[in-house]
């Protein structure tokens, strides 16, 4: 008896492993960021399934009850929509449960003369051969599902859930038909038809989701290309600005020296006043942040001018001296988009509340970027598109900054509370630079 119980437990464990694999493929964002969160659904459903199998007489109602409970558990454990959870459960039941059961019925007809059950200690149990077949079928199903859908990124929609649910209903009906009638069917074609329908259903669902994912990935690839093109455009813009800045610096340097000479030779109050004004303008030009990174200096100069025009107080403390592992394009992406977003949010506020704080520099073994600005309470939706018309300079915002941070093994976090929006980026400094 204990051998059959162990086989049943192993079979149930494999069912839950299949549920775990499908849920991890189709559901990406856990609700609770704990190491055990991803294991909670299969553990709970293992306990429920085992209890229902051995200690209840639910019969045909067992699968619908387990299905509903699994949807609830997945919805509680993950942030994705309920439609995503429904598809996970339907895929799990079709690939792991229905296919296994109809295959057992079919094999029993050919090999064991319809003898599926044996009596052990007065209790009806599946033959041990049936357990082995079930285990083999579930392992094969898991391998195929993982191989085909391991890179699944597509977010299912309501219409997708409707299509899968209709197909699931057909498959469920065929499974019920097989469970109650296939052993009494004398015609082999009828039995093959039932099994074939379940197999075709699995193929349809896998191909359906796979094709949806392929289309989605292609669309994302096109968007990525557009983003890269815009980032390169943005970077090229700042490079041109840098070249112009170098020319202007040279002119201002010469002008500063000429003014000093002229100051010594002035012979009228009007000339003295003119020289003083010119010197003041030169001083204003030189009154910009010098961070140790030319591209960042240009960005801060331009954004400072923009902020001043829009009556936004901009406070900057940045030191990139010795921090040369960040590529210029990524410097442009991080600071350009970050400041654009902060300026845009500040424009929506009364002038007395418009303020932006930027801090950048080393913090132990990390390079830290902090951009803080006052904002409206609903500005925490970082996924919303910019309201600006100038896509040339503003790109795709935070998503590009996120990619730039991940490129260096770092992370980007955002937080909006008490009318303040905080964007923080932490990039680990390469070991070659840590001692500098």
Candidates 333, 353, 331, 351; CA nearest to 341 is 333
Q: By the 8 A CB rule, do 330 and 320 touch?
A: no
- Side-chain half-sphere exposure of 296, counting CA atoms within 13 A: 25
Top-confidence residue, 31 or 381: 31
Q: How far apart are CA 412 and CA 421, in angstroms?
A: 13
Give which of 264, 263, 322, 253 is closest to 291, Cα–Cα: 322
Q: What is the structure's pLDDT at 264?
A: 60
CA distance 112 to 49: 27
The answer, yes or no, to whether residue 366 has pLDDT greater than 70, is yes
Interior/surface letters 387-402, b for 16+ CB within 10 angstroms, e for the rest: eeeeeebbbbbbbbbb
CA 320 – CA 299 distance, rounded (Å): 14
User: Does 427 score more than 60 pLDDT?
Assistant: yes
Whether the pLDDT of residue 389 is over 70: the answer is no
Q: How would residue 379 be classed by pLDDT, with cut points 50, 70 and 90?
A: very low
Range 304-330 average pLDDT: 88
Q: Around Cβ 322, how many Cβ atoms within 10 Å?
A: 11
Alpha helices for 266-357 (secondary structure H): 269-286, 294-309, 328-331, 337-347
pLDDT per position as a tens digit, 269-294: 766 666 666 656 555 555 566 788 88
Q: Is the pLDDT of residue 187 over 80?
A: no
Q: What's the pLDDT band for 382 if we cut at 50, 70, 90?
A: very low
Radius of gyration of the chain (CA): 33
**∠ Cα 391 395 401 (to 5°):** 160
Beta bridge partners of 424: 370, 413
Split at pLDDT 50, 70, 90, the class of 70 is confident
pLDDT (mean) for 49-71: 70
Can you tell me the mean pLDDT for 5-20?
79
Q: How confident is the model at residue 370 (pLDDT cuts 50, 70, 90)?
A: very high
pLDDT, residue 371, reads 93
**pLDDT at position 381:** 46
* Domains of the chain listed by start with CATH number: 2-223 (no CATH), 289-436 (3.30.565.10)
HSE-up of residue 17 (Cα within 13 Å, Cβ side): 14
Q: Is 367 helix (H, G, I), strand (E, B) or coil?
A: strand
What per-residue string of b and e applies to 96-132 under the rule 16 or more CB within 10 Å gives b?
A: bbbbbbbbbbbbbbeeeeeebeeeeeeeebbbebbbe
pLDDT in tens, 214-237: 888 888 888 777 777 777 777 787
Q: Rounded to an integer, what is the distance from CA 112 to the centroid of its chain?
A: 50
Q: Alpha-carbon distance 346 to 349, whole Å?
A: 5
Return the percent helix, strand and coil in the chain, to nearest 5. Answer: 70, 10, 20
The Cα–Cα gap between 52 and 33 comes to 30
CB 350 within 8 A of CB 311: no
pLDDT at 395: 35
Percent of the chain scored above 70 by pLDDT?
Answer: 69
Residue 9, Cβ density class (10 Å: 0-12 exposed, 13-18 middle, ≥19 buried): middle
Q: How confident is the model at residue 423 (pLDDT cuts 50, 70, 90)?
A: very high
At 360 the three-state DSSP class reads: strand
CA distances (Å), 411 to each of 38, 396, 398, 427, in order? 22, 17, 12, 7
425 falls in which pLDDT band (50, 70, 90)? very high
Determine the pLDDT at residue 286.
Answer: 53
- Across 232-246, 277-291, 355-369, least confident range: 277-291
Confidence band (pLDDT; 50, 70, 90) for 112?
low
Specify whether the CB–CB gap between 171 and 197 falls below 8 A: yes
Q: Which of helix, strand or coil describes residue 185?
A: coil
Which are the contacts of 114, defined by CB distance < 8 A and separation ≥ 6?
108, 183
pTM value surpassing 0.85: no
């Amino acid at each position: 008896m204990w051998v059959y119980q162990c086989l049943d437990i192993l079979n149930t464990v494999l069912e839950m492993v299949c549920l775990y694999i499908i849920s991890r493929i189709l559901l990406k964002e856990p609700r609770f960021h704990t190491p055990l969160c991803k294991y909670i659904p299969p553990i709970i459903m293992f306990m429920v399934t085992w209890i229902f199998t051995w200690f209840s007489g639910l019969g045909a109602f067992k699968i619908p009850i387990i299905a509903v409970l699994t949807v609830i558990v997945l919805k509680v454990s993950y942030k994705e929509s309920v439609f995503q959870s429904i598809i996970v459960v339907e895929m799990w039941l079709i690939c792991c449960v229905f296919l296994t059961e109809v295959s057992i019925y079919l094999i029993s007809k050919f090999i064991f003369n319809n003898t599926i059950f044996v009596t052990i200690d007065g209790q009806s149990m599946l033959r041990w051969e049936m357990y082995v077949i079930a285990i083999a079928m579930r392992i094969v199903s898991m391998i195929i599902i993982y191989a085909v859908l391991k890179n699944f990124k597509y977010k299912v929609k309501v219409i997708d859930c409707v299509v899968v649910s209709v197909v699931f209903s057909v498959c469920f009906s065929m499974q019920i038909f097989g469970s109650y009638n296939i052993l009494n069917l004398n015609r082999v074609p009828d039995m093959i038809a039932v099994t074939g329908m379940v197999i075709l259903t699995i193929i349809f669902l896998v191909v359906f989701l796979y094709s949806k994912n392929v289309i989605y990935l292609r669309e994302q690839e096109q968007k990525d290309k557009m983003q890269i093109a815009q980032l390169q455009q943005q970077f090229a813009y700042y490079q041109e600005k840098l070249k112009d800045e170098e020319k202007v610096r040279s002119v201002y340097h010469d002008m500063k020296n000429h003014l000093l000479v002229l100051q010594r030779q002035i012979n009228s109050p009007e000339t003295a006043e003119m020289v003083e004004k010119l010197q003041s303008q030169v001083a204003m030009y030189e009154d910009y942040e010098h961070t140790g990174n030319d591209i960042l200096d240009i960005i801060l100069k331009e954004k400072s001018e923009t902020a001043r025009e829009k009556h936004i107080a901009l406070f900057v403390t940045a030191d990139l001296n010795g921090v040369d592992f960040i590529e210029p394009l990524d410097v442009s992406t991080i600071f350009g988009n970050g400041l654009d977003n902060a300026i845009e949010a500040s424009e929506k506020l009364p002038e007395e509340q418009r303020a932006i704080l930027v801090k950048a520099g080393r913090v132990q073994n990390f390079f830290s970027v902090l951009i803080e600005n006052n904002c409206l309470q609903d500005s925490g939706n970082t996924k919303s598109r910019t309201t600006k018309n100038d896509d040339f300079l503003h790109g795709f915002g935070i998503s590009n900054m996120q990619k730039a941070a991940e490129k260096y093994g770092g992370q980007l976090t955002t937080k909006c509370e008490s009318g303040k929006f905080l964007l923080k980026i932490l990039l680990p400094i390469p070991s070659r630079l840590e001692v500098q």
